[in-house]
Structure 1
């Protein structure tokens, strides 16, 4: 018996960041978060379940994962699908991204989101988006935010089971049509400290974590309202402050570590002076500069002037798409 499914899912950039877990096994976050799904930046994943296989085989961008790597992400997801399906059937998973992996561009988020949609299609389970976001979250926390398009909200939840920690859309992809994300690819090197290890270190040691969580709780309604009203000035300010908040906690962690470099700091200074855009950094060196279409050329000219050689321009994008022959 052979069952196949294939899907694409978008990368996402968090506006209100996820950094820290209250349950590592289920990837339950310490705070709710908000993100934007990105247009044209995606993972494409094909899954083939075959009753003749005796183990899972996971290939990402042409490289087969080792036992620990695949258990950390994909195998957890596939085990959930096997339990729901009711049969122990192994899979070949082949996933590709059209952007650098492990560099702060949410490659695991897009890949796991694509996997859950592909597996749901292959096994003909007809699970809801809410169900799929919960499964994706267990594979990789921020993957749940890549199960929808537009502006996504991830509920932190309070239950130990995780059943109330899921993701849903708060505004569709065409809501703020002239919003642009200009991504400055500062480095395509793999991160020295993974997000998973970094979060654990911060939760265990950062003295600023409590302040950050209070700041998030207080300002999440303001972030949502700034999007609703398309209040660019407020949205830009809050976007930068939430990025700064996460990276302050990272620097405050012990042993200390950081993801940003001198060029990132130069971008941060210029953007604040410019006043018509916002920077935000996930756990990586690549800057997401969020602005409006009318200001995009000024931002692009600046990035070229500081010798940023690779730039990706994206807009708010759609959610996962299941592919059919």
Structure 2
């Protein structure tokens, strides 16, 4: 048997992707920019066993269906088997320290951890760029969790996806004063998966072309705001990119509604971008970025709005591979 273990951070996209040009390879329609989060992690252990007749995956102790395994984990494992030349199935155990399927990118962290743990088990010496391509096969945003800090995912143009990969553009300590507050309003599973929702939007949203132009035009400004640690500009662009994606969701048919009443209260409270900038993925729980000096005030407001708890996260330095690098408390 061959064993490997790894821990990967979740990530939250500031410049988001919503829609694919190739679903089989998870190739996005646009570049995206994310931040890896220290407080949200997934730990995965992979055991390749010649006695197995298929891949098996457990997430927080719950066994996934064969269809779920085939749609996500086996896409990564098949590629690893191809590279290593070993035709051997695996048992995967993953544990997260945050609610899954509630819009906090648990699948991204899980697939990234699986990719790194599989590489560790098979003894493959691969750089993060190549690992990001493999993680992308299992879950698009997982490729960004292969790195820490601020990460850009290049959409690429090639049909085979070889130019669609991630790279770190700023390290985790580039902007030490920036923190992410994540209020938990609900841990309910979302009704429509991101994968399904993107497909609906690509097929039906009349605003998609406009949004893609918006992303191309504004990505340089987002990068500049991070480079210069310009909080006011960063908060504004974070809010605008979140709103842009959810406008596409609402313009889809039937409309995709991932936000709830509590989400709207957050938008109303921080929409001016003066001390914080919110962003929502496909779920009702926001990420609210603010400076460390304002974190206490922002957290107090989030609790007053009804959050059952608020997770405070610094920016992650990145994944850890091997048993010695895994946080056993998660």
Whether TM exceeds 0.5 here: the answer is yes
Tell me the residue number matched to 1:105. 104
Tell me the residue number matched to 2:227. 228
Tell me the residue number matched to 1:174. 173
Shift of 1:53: 1.3
Aligned residue for 1:94, secondary structure, equals strand
Tell me the residue number matched to 1:38. 37
Structure-to-structure mapping, 1:138-217, within 5 angstroms: 138-217=137-216
Say whether the 8 Å CA contact 2:276–2:288 is kept in structure 1: yes
Aligned residue for 1:92, secondary structure, equals strand
Say whether the 8 Å CA contact 2:3–2:121 is kept in structure 1: yes
Shift of 1:272: 2.2
Tell me the residue number matched to 1:267. 266
Alpha-carbon distance between aligned partners in 1 of 2:314 and 2:218, rounded to the nearest angstrom: 24
Aligned residue for 1:136, secondary structure, equals helix
- Using a 3 Å threshold, how does the CA distance of structure 1 residues 300 and 45 change in structure 2: closer, same or farther? same
Alignment partner of 1:291 is 2:290: yes
Alpha-carbon distance between aligned partners in 2 of 1:145 and 1:18, rounded to the nearest angstrom: 12
Alpha-carbon distance between aligned partners in 2 of 1:206 and 1:240, rounded to the nearest angstrom: 21
Gaps of 5+ in 1: none
How many residues get paired? 324
Question: With structure 2 as the length reference, what TM-score do the two structures score?
Answer: 0.97
Once the two structures are superposed, residues 28-49 of structure 1 have per-residue CA deviations (whole angstroms, 9 ceiling, x without a partner) of 0000000000012100000000
Alpha-carbon distance between aligned partners in 2 of 1:275 and 1:265, rounded to the nearest angstrom: 17
Shift of 1:125: 0.9
Shift of 1:27: 0.2
Gaps of 5+ in 2: 325-330
Aligned residue for 1:15, secondary structure, equals strand
Over the aligned positions, Cα root-mean-square deviation in angstroms equals: 0.8
Shift of 1:307: 2.3
Alpha-carbon distance between aligned partners in 2 of 1:87 and 1:173, rounded to the nearest angstrom: 36
Question: With structure 1 as the length reference, what TM-score do the two structures score?
Answer: 0.98
Alpha-carbon distance between aligned partners in 2 of 1:84 and 1:23, rounded to the nearest angstrom: 22
Alpha-carbon distance between aligned partners in 2 of 1:230 and 1:250, rounded to the nearest angstrom: 30
Once the two structures are superposed, residues 200-255 of structure 1 have per-residue CA deviations (whole angstroms, 9 ceiling, x without a partner) of 00000000100000000000010001000001111100000000000000000001
